[in-house]
Structure 1
Amino acid sequence: MDARRCQACGVTISRLAVDAVCPTCAASNSARQPAVRTATIAPAIWPWATPEATTAIATRDLPTILRAYRRINRLNQVQLGELLGYDKSYVSMLETGRRAITDVTTRRYIASRLGIPAHVLGVTGTDDAEYRAMLQFGDSTVRLAEIARQSGHAVEAVNELWPLVARLEARAAEGHMERDSLILLAQVRVALGVSLGTVLPEERLSSAARWTGQAVTIAEHLDDPGFHALTLRMHGNELRKAGHVRAAVDRLQQSLELSDAPADRGGSLAFLCRVLGELGDAAQFDTAVADYRRLLDGNPGSGLLFQPFTLREIQLRGLLGTGRPAEAGQHLDDSAGAPAAPQWQIIERVTAGEVLAAIGETDAASSAFSEAVTSAEHHRLPHQIQRVVRASIGAGLRELTADASAALDRIRTALADR
């Protein structure tokens, strides 16, 4: 059992992990690079991300796949022959089915040259079988990790996603993936980036933004506007948290343009409101908040980002960011319901404390901050404690600053690689 626990923090590590330090500790320690590096996806993968290619691959028929490959890449039979090392007449016979290839070695060679998994051409092995089994459960892993993150267990989410993303990244670097695998890789990159963005301290949040950015890179090639919008939305928010606010606005506006469903548009608007507030742009912030409110009034709220609680929270922070603390104080008691996830309860308490401190109610602010620090330390949310440290310094709450700083040090110690 001990071998399955992180040597730095003691958290349980996925049974698939091989390192003695959990991925969160590895990613959190600035002296150590994360155990998984984002792979450069082989160029041959992108043609297989198109719907036409997906249909061709699904046939598992070599002539169909060869013809599709030529069409997608705009090659003639001579050029395809040069790629495979065959002459034009032989390629023609393969494409028309007049010549069949049955030996495993040649089929594996063709799969390698075309950048598709060998199993597509009927060549299977232990590694292929294990990989296909992993793909079958990949969606479930992502969904369960998201549930864990939203329920306050983001560290566990990171540590479960890491082995899956490592395997997918390695496969991508080899150039052997089809559309379904690419979609899963993008989903895992988003989930991992968002989970890291929940548990990493502010000085390490660029790592989370890099993962979500790599998901956008894949989504751009998949001809799926809804999924592309999702990756842009989550990448925009991680860019905001990492301090790249102008880039965040650009990504979130792109996401909004691509989003159709009310909940998706609401999610994009929620993050856009937040970043506009941080920029101090009162006019654009008010416009975005009004759009969010109209959308929410006309549609039932759903998810963490599209509900009255979220509207209240982003409005409070935006009003502070645009220099209107008194107006923010007037909205503190707005009825908005309870947050659905522990991290949102912590975010709400920190925001409430910031508003209370800004309007001079220091005792109430101190109480809100103290609640937030206790819960944030329990759930290992360092950047929320960093928010408290900054706000308490500004409010002159020296004892609270010391307590919050001590809690932050304890989290950093737990996340450091001993």
Structure 2
Amino acid sequence: MRPSDGAAVVLRSSSRFAAWHWATGQAQQILAAGDLGRILRLFRAVHGLSQTELGQLLGYDKTYVSAIELGKRSVEDVGSRRRIADQLRLPPHLLGVTDEADTDHRAMLQFGESTVRLAEIARQSGHATEAVAELWPLVARLEARLEDGHAERGVLRLLAQARVGLGVALGNVLPEERLATAARWTGKSLPIASYFGDRAFSSSVLRMHGNELRKAGMKGAAVDRLQHAAVLAPDPTARAAVLPLLARAAGALGDGTLFDTVVSETAALLEEVEHTSLFNPYALHEIRLRGLVATGRADMAIRLVEQAPEPTMTVAPQWRVIELITVAHVRLLADDRDGASTCLEAAVFEATRQRLPHQLQRIMRAAGDQLPASRDAAGHALDRLRQEMAA
């Protein structure tokens, strides 16, 4: 017996998050046990179906569904279990059925986890374009599976991670006028993180989304997301990952009080938490300089500009570009045109080599009318990147 149209309508009209209930802790326990009766009861509860309606969907009568749920009848043949898995939008192996399609799916999840990790390494190494190229197909496959109603915990978590990775990578390679696209991709992971109720995961997603909002010019929203990420951070290491980005967003917003508070806490944690590509004295120095200028204290930034600490670890290439531009800006405020010109020349070369249009636009603003040669060099490089992107 095929599912009736009425049952299909009931499923279509249910909550858009209904399928996500398969990813909850309760559902994971039920699925791990392979108890078909409990699985059917959960499915009915999620979708608001009666036993009669579920029977129509599966091709059984109400009595048979009731017997399965009570454990009085079992479904042993592979064909029936495969059909049930298909109708409930579950991977067949969860009902004891192994087939080629499900094996391919599990391989995709394993491959996807590696793809996300390798894409992040590529982005941190200055190859954000390659990271985007790797993550687009993975996100498309995972979203197609979710659209089909397959929302296992592994699929949802991997999709959230892939969306965030894609958004952050796009934030490196897109020009300023298109950075809202990067923020939208990271933002698409927020409902998944919130649904799981995992503080560490939610903090991580909010952190990345908040930083992309800042880059897109949505400063107030960025501070809000990053403050939320700091509150949810489960330990000092997670909090240390948020604070530098929160300091940068507070500075961009012009909130000197919040900026000073966050910078002080960040500096204190430097002695306690292991350094990373963002959380280290070298990166904090650049954040201080930019924030002081943004909050109207250029004189303090000028006094600090010569006090840059030596890197305590290998600095990601894009962070070196960011630091060069900020230092050049401060040197211009100190009327040191030669020093600023030297910094911007190196920044143009690196930003062009790494294909960072947003940083080329920062160079153009920093150079302005005072260093027209640097401004024009950055502008020409940006035009070439735009032409390549358009092609």
1:241 correspondence with 2:215: yes
Which residue in 2 is equivalent to 1:301?
274
Question: Which of 187, 197, 211 is the equivalent residue of 2:185?
Answer: 211
Do the aligned partners of 1:350 and 1:368 also contact (CA within 8 Å) in 2?
yes
Alpha-carbon distance in structure 2 between the residues aligned to 1:72 and 1:225? 24
Which residue in 2 is equivalent to 1:375?
350
Q: Which runs of 5+ in 2 are unaligned?
A: 1-14
1:361 correspondence with 2:336: yes
Which residue in 1 is equivalent to 2:365?
390
1:50 correspondence with 2:24: yes
Q: How does 1:209-288 map to 2 (within 5 A)?
A: 209-288=183-262
* Deviations 1:122-146 (CA, angstroms, capped at 9, x unpaired): 4444332222111122211111111
Question: Which of 301, 304, 307 is the equivalent residue of 1:334?
Answer: 307
Cα shift at 1:267: 1.9
Do the aligned partners of 2:20 and 2:151 also contact (CA within 8 Å) in 1?
no
1:410 correspondence with 2:384: yes
- Among all aligned residue pairs of Structure 1 and Structure 2, give the percentage whose two residues are the same amino acid: 51
3-state SS, counterpart of residue 332 of structure 1: helix
Which residue in 2 is equivalent to 1:130?
104
Question: Which of 294, 302, 317 is the equivalent residue of 1:321?
Answer: 294
Deviates more, 1:127-136 or 1:167-176: 127-136
Aligned partner letter, 1:172: L
3-state SS, counterpart of residue 239 of structure 2: helix
Which residue in 2 is equivalent to 1:186?
160
Do the aligned partners of 2:251 and 2:290 also contact (CA within 8 Å) in 1?
yes
Distance 1:73 1:404, change over 3 A: same
Cα shift at 1:92: 2.3
Aligned partner letter, 2:353: H
Deviates more, 1:218-227 or 1:330-339: 330-339
Alpha-carbon distance in structure 2 between the residues aligned to 1:238 and 1:125? 41
Cα shift at 1:76: 6.8
1:311 correspondence with 2:284: yes
Normalising to structure 2: TM-score of the pair? 0.89
Aligned partner letter, 1:311: L
Q: How does 1:143-158 map to 2 (within 5 A)?
A: 143-158=117-132
Normalising to structure 1: TM-score of the pair? 0.84
Which residue in 2 is equivalent to 1:16?
none
Do the aligned partners of 1:47 and 1:73 also contact (CA within 8 Å) in 2?
no
Deviates more, 1:74-83 or 1:275-284: 74-83
* Deviations 1:63-85 (CA, angstroms, capped at 9, x unpaired): 23224445667877567557656
3-state SS, counterpart of residue 234 of structure 2: coil
3-state SS, counterpart of residue 98 of structure 1: coil
Cα shift at 1:152: 0.9
3-state SS, counterpart of residue 221 of structure 1: helix
Alpha-carbon distance in structure 1 between the residues aligned to 2:240 and 2:61? 56
* Deviations 1:96-148 (CA, angstroms, capped at 9, x unpaired): 33222245554344334433233322444433222211112221111111111
- What RMSD in Å do the two structures reach over aligned CA positions? 2.2
Aligned partner letter, 1:336: P
Distance 1:293 1:73, change over 3 A: farther
Cα shift at 1:269: 1.3
3-state SS, counterpart of residue 227 of structure 1: helix
Alpha-carbon distance in structure 1 between the residues aligned to 2:101 and 2:171? 32
Alpha-carbon distance in structure 1 between the residues aligned to 2:371 and 2:76? 76
Alpha-carbon distance in structure 1 between the residues aligned to 2:19 and 2:217? 32
Q: Which runs of 5+ in 1 are unaligned?
A: 1-40
Deviates more, 1:142-151 or 1:263-272: 263-272
Do the aligned partners of 1:200 and 1:382 also contact (CA within 8 Å) in 2?
yes
3-state SS, counterpart of residue 333 of structure 1: helix
Query: Larger Cα Rg: Structure 1 or Structure 2?
Result: 2
3-state SS, counterpart of residue 188 of structure 2: helix
Alpha-carbon distance in structure 2 between the residues aligned to 1:64 and 1:181? 22
Aligned partner letter, 1:321: A
* Length, aligned pairs only: 375
* Deviations 1:255-303 (CA, angstroms, capped at 9, x unpaired): 1110022222122111111111111111121112112222223x13332
Alpha-carbon distance in structure 1 between the residues aligned to 2:162 and 2:60? 38
The structure whose RCO (Cα within 8 Å, separation 6+) is larger is 1
Alpha-carbon distance in structure 2 between the residues aligned to 1:337 and 1:91? 69
Do the aligned partners of 2:247 and 2:291 also contact (CA within 8 Å) in 1?
yes
